[in-house]
Amino acid sequence: MSSYPQTRLRRPRQQDWSRRLVCEQKLSVNDLIWPIFVCPGTNKREPIDSMPGVFRYSLDELAPAVKEAVELGIPAVALFPATPPDKKSSDGEEAYNPDNLMCSAIRVLKNLNLNLGIIADVALDPYTTHGQDGLVRDGYVVNDESVNVLCRQAVTQAEAGCDLIAPSDMMDGRIGAIRQALDAAGFENVLIMSYAAKYASAFYGPFRDAVGSAGSLGSGDKRTYQMDPANSDEAMREVAFDLEEGADFVMVKPGMPYLDIIRRIHDQFQVPTFAYQVSGEYAMMMGAIERGWLDRDKTMLESLIAFKRAGASGILTYFAVEAARLLQQQ
């Protein structure tokens, strides 16, 4: 390789056209998944204080919001319900009620006949009085009994019409069990996106506000089933098991603090790998943006291209609609 001054790496950076020619990664609207919170009632677009610019939508407000996303080219949305307190229980039976908020929202979107993937979250925390993702027995979140309930939840959501099941609970063996349950119920074409490497992170706080599980969880934590932020090799084992059990896609959550995990999964497994730019990441950036400390558009797009550079196939982000608008303008 020639040495300086014969080789000047700044030369291709001089003009817009040459920068575009040598750009290594491209962010596209096809990379974006929009997480949406749904709530009971009518005519509601409830702002979420800890997530500026993000709302909970009642079912009648869901259609116009999603239609805009489709017009912008966003390929999929991920639904999360803010379950009313009177529907919650210690065993989370509302999770597999065919008329619950999640299933009702799925049906609303399917009836629109849009070119849109509908992703349904599978976990019990929106439905339990204790805020844990599984069933609690003698103070411990039990695994196999929880998996049985998660299978019922997944099949109920598939019956409502969802296209992709996204288990976020981190119970051992749940991907294989859900795959078998879906297939046995005739839903062999429903996809599974596994939250394969989901860390016990401090960045989930605003999300728990949004779905109403923060008060239920209280001072509890999820460290007996979500991953230790210090661990990387363990994530590779989690991904390997989930792929062996039938996951079509895998996900890393949170996103930006775990770009190294995304890169390792991409390099080792070469499978569709998604990242969730979680509520705390969004809130952190929005806090600085609203104070004028960061440029909104530039910060948003730079944060998203980082996931592509790390090897992500796509990104779940609350910036999805805004980012899609910007990309359309470009």
Inter-axis angle of helices 101-110 and 144-160, nearest 10: 30
Q: Is residue 5 a part of any domain in this protein?
A: no
256 has pLDDT over 60: yes
Contact 77, 110 (CB under 8 A): no
Which one of 88, 222, 253, 308 is the catalytic residue?
253
d(CA 199, CA 323): 26
| DSSP-assigned states of every residue in 16-82 | HHHHHHT------GGGEEEEEEE-SSSS-EEE-TTSTT-EEE-HHHHHHHHHHHHHHT--EEEEEE-
> Is residue 12 a part of any domain in this protein?
no
The pLDDT of residue 6 is 87
Euclidean distance between CA atoms 47 and 28, whole angstroms = 27
Which two three-digit tokens encode residue 147?
Answer: 């998996």
Whether 8 is covered by a domain: the verdict is: no
CA–CA distance, 40 with 206 (Å, rounded to integer): 19
Domain-embedded: residue 154: yes
* Annotated binding-site members for Mg(2+): 238
* 11 within some domain: no
Residue 168 is classified by DSSP as -
Instruction: For residue 208, name the pLDDT band (cuts at 50, 70, 90).
Output: confident
Dihedral sign (CA 86, 279, 236, 33): positive
Q: For residue 151, what pLDDT is reported?
A: 98
Q: How far is CA 253 from the centre of its chain?
A: 8
pLDDT for res 2: 64
What pLDDT score was predicted for residue 1?
Answer: 57
pTM over 0.75: yes
Q: Is 110 a residue of the active site?
A: no
The catalytic position among 26, 44, 67, 198 is 198
- Tell me if residue 198 is catalytic: yes
CB 37 within 8 A of CB 56: yes
- What's the number of domains the chain is made of? 1
Decide: residue 253, CB within 10 A, 0-12 exposed, 13-18 middle, 19+ buried: buried
Secondary structure letter of residue 85 according to DSSP:
G
Query: At residue 31, does pLDDT exceed 90?
Result: yes
What is the model's pLDDT at position 262?
A: 98
- So what's the pLDDT on residue 259? 98
Contact present, 284 and 293 (Cβ < 8 Å): no
CATH number at residue 278: 3.20.20.70
The confidence score (pLDDT) of residue 219 equals 75
6 belongs to a structural domain: no
Is the pLDDT at 215 greater than 90? The verdict is no
What's the whole-number average pLDDT of the chain? 95
Q: What is the pLDDT of residue 136?
A: 96
Range of the domain at 54: 27-329
Over the stretch 79-115, which tens digit does the pLDDT of each residue have? 999 999 999 999 999 999 999 999 999 999 999 999 9
On whether residue 1 sits in a domain, the answer given is no
* pLDDT > 90 in the chain, percent: 91
pLDDT in tens, 136-186: 999 999 999 999 999 999 999 999 999 999 999 999 999 999 999 999 999
Closest CA to 194 of 150, 231, 258: 150
The single-letter DSSP state of residue 100 is S
Give mean pLDDT, residues 257-273: 97
**Which parts are annotated binding residues?**
238
**Mean pLDDT of the 262-268 span:** 98
**What gap in Å lies between CA 172 and CA 56, rounded to an integer?**
31
Section 4-27 average pLDDT: 91
The band of 234, judged by pLDDT with boundaries at 50, 70 and 90, is very high
